[in-house]
Structure 1
Amino acid sequence: MLRDIWLSLRREQTLALRNPAWIGIGIMQPVLYLFLFGPLMERIVDNTPGFPPGSAWVILTPALILQLGLFSLFAGFGILADLRSGALERMRVTPVRRLALLLGKVLNAGIQLLVQALLILVLALLVFDLEAPAGGILLSLLIVVMLGIALASCSYALALKLKSEEAFIPLLNTILLPVLLLSGILIPITTGLAPGWLYTISRINPMTHIVDAGRASFRGDFAMDALFTGCVVLAVMTVLSVWWGARTFQKENA
């Protein structure tokens, strides 16, 4: 199994290295938020009660890194391209296990996400006034990689079910926008800032708890309920997502 996973991962990385520009393209939005929204966020945090503890950069940077993980929902376009070109059919007739094919793809998504997150972190540390403990940074990187693996697995499962870009794109937009807005990535959704009904709805969104965990790790609050809750939510989501992705991958490629 490990050899099959490595073969699948190596194929995906080879394809990614042929077009490394996508690494830079993927981080353009977070970089723009850092430069154009970050200075404004400093003023907002200093003059508005209700924000979580920490500086503007401690609040904004981990959220932007996790936003990268949220965009792993677009990973399914890769498998749709494989379906169209016949590459998936050719892989299906090889002795490589179906689960290994999926795990190679999602691990590649996690590695690309890790590289992008590191670039954002280096930029925030060198250019902006970000101060975060090393342990918190490492934990946040683990969180974003797990998030990427979970959402990439879901994306592959959805893509294999739909088998059409025309159906996949509107479905992603329908899912992504409310999840993004309710996660508090740009402006934290707290009891001191949001109306009661909006705060209640945001608690239903798993991404909200994961973003809270990322911010807690950057503050070094390792004993906080937010960090524990977010990590538990992420662990459950990752297990269920990989299971669903693997089951769909095996069923659709039987």
Structure 2
Amino acid sequence: MSVSVAVRPEVDTVRTGFVRDTVTIFLREFQLVLRDPFSLIFSLLQPLVFLGLFAPLLAGSLSSDQLGGESPLTWFLPGVVVMIALFGTGSTGANLLYELMTGSYERVLATPVSRPAILVGRALKELAPLVVQAVIITLAALPFGVTFSPAGVVVGLAILGVFGVGLGALSYALGLASRNREWLFWGVQQTLIFPLLILSGMMLPLESGPGWMQAAATVNPLTYVVNAERAAFTGALTDPSILHGAIAAALTCALGLVVGVRAVLRSAG
């Protein structure tokens, strides 16, 4: 007599499509942003302060040649937009730390959702707030005589979006590595973010800086993104700096997704 034994498939073998899982995670994360719009609005205060107080100082301390012949605000605005991406996506891991403390992240891992989709969906979520904030800042600068190319802004935001996805994924990986050690996340994040900011020429031109600082700027991917944004916003779409910025953003995105996906897979055990 033969006895047939029904074998229940393991939960880990039940996987929905990667694209569908990515969309599901994206919508879940984006709904959290919509439920708390004040965080999005509050995050605009620092860029607006920099735009309103720091840019006038450039007019009195730097020559027209140092600003590339542009007005201080026209030169400074793309840097502020990049700053939004840097601080916004660079803090993605902080949200993850909260989920790790509350057990929300473990509940997501208990579902049959694709593990890489967890990271990719969250990384794509960073695009929407980034674009909204950048557009608001750009429009807010119009009454002060800032001129820009609408097509160039679209190109610049596309480059910045790709860069933001990569940076957000790296921040996510850092959050996973800092589980139960929140101090480690903020220590590494703050140690890296400000040198990247200063050595990109985001706040001040680096042409008059010391040689070692200019050399360090050449290996900083953010330098190429900032230069690309300035060229794009002025409509110089054939400028080589746009291609260089796109390459730097793509490499950052690829590195971030590879590191982030591996971190998610390890955390899933």
TM over 0.5: yes
Q: CA deviation at 1:88?
A: 0.9
1:152 aligns with 2:168: yes
Q: Letter of the aligned partner of 2:113 in structure 1?
A: V
Partner of 1:96: 113
**Uncovered stretches (5+) of structure 1, i.e. residues with no partner:** none
1:167 aligns with 2:180: no
Distance in 2 (CA, whole Å) between partners of 1:236 and 1:147 is 8
Partner of 1:252: 267
Residue in structure 2 matching 1:87, options 79, 98, 104: 104
Residue in structure 2 matching 1:7, options 24, 34, 50: 24
**Uncovered stretches (5+) of structure 2, i.e. residues with no partner:** 1-17
The 5-angstrom pairing of residues 226-245 of structure 1 reads 226-245=241-260
Larger radius of gyration, structure 1 or 2?
A: 2
TM-score when normalising by structure 1 = 0.93
Asked if structure 1 preserves the Cα contact closer than 8 Å seen for 2:160 and 2:225, the reply is: no
Measured against aligned partners, the alpha-carbon deviations of 1:172-203 in whole angstroms (never above 9, x if no partner) come to 1111111111111111212xx22322211211
Q: CA deviation at 1:98?
A: 1.0
The 5-angstrom pairing of residues 102-181 of structure 1 reads 102-125=119-142, 127-163=143-179, 164-181=181-198
Q: Letter of the aligned partner of 2:209 in structure 1?
A: A
Asked if structure 2 preserves the Cα contact closer than 8 Å seen for 1:52 and 1:188, the reply is: no
1:28 aligns with 2:42: no
Other structure's SS at 1:63 match? helix
Distance in 2 (CA, whole Å) between partners of 1:155 and 1:53 is 36
Asked if structure 2 preserves the Cα contact closer than 8 Å seen for 1:70 and 1:147, the reply is: no
Q: CA deviation at 1:48?
A: 5.2
More helix by share: 1
Partner of 1:70: 86
Measured against aligned partners, the alpha-carbon deviations of 1:122-167 in whole angstroms (never above 9, x if no partner) come to 1012x22111111111111112212211111000001111212121
Q: CA deviation at 1:219?
A: 1.9
Asked if structure 1 preserves the Cα contact closer than 8 Å seen for 2:159 and 2:245, the reply is: no
Higher mean C-alpha deviation, range 221-230 or range 19-28? 221-230
Measured against aligned partners, the alpha-carbon deviations of 1:44-97 in whole angstroms (never above 9, x if no partner) come to 44x353332422222111110001111111110111111111111111111111
1:59 aligns with 2:75: yes
Asked if structure 2 preserves the Cα contact closer than 8 Å seen for 1:133 and 1:218, the reply is: yes
Distance in 1 (CA, whole Å) between partners of 2:75 and 2:102 is 43
The Cα RMSD (Å) is 1.4
Other structure's SS at 1:189 match? coil
The count of residues paired between Structure 1 and Structure 2 equals 250
Other structure's SS at 2:49 match? helix
Other structure's SS at 1:105 match? helix
Q: Letter of the aligned partner of 2:151 in structure 1?
A: G
Q: Letter of the aligned partner of 2:178 in structure 1?
A: L
The 5-angstrom pairing of residues 142-221 of structure 1 reads 142-163=158-179, 164-190=181-207, 193-221=208-236
- The structure 1 segments of at least 4 consecutive aligned residues displaced by more than 6 Å after TM superposition are none
Asked if structure 1 preserves the Cα contact closer than 8 Å seen for 2:55 and 2:72, the reply is: yes
Asked if structure 1 preserves the Cα contact closer than 8 Å seen for 2:97 and 2:182, the reply is: yes
Other structure's SS at 2:141 match? helix
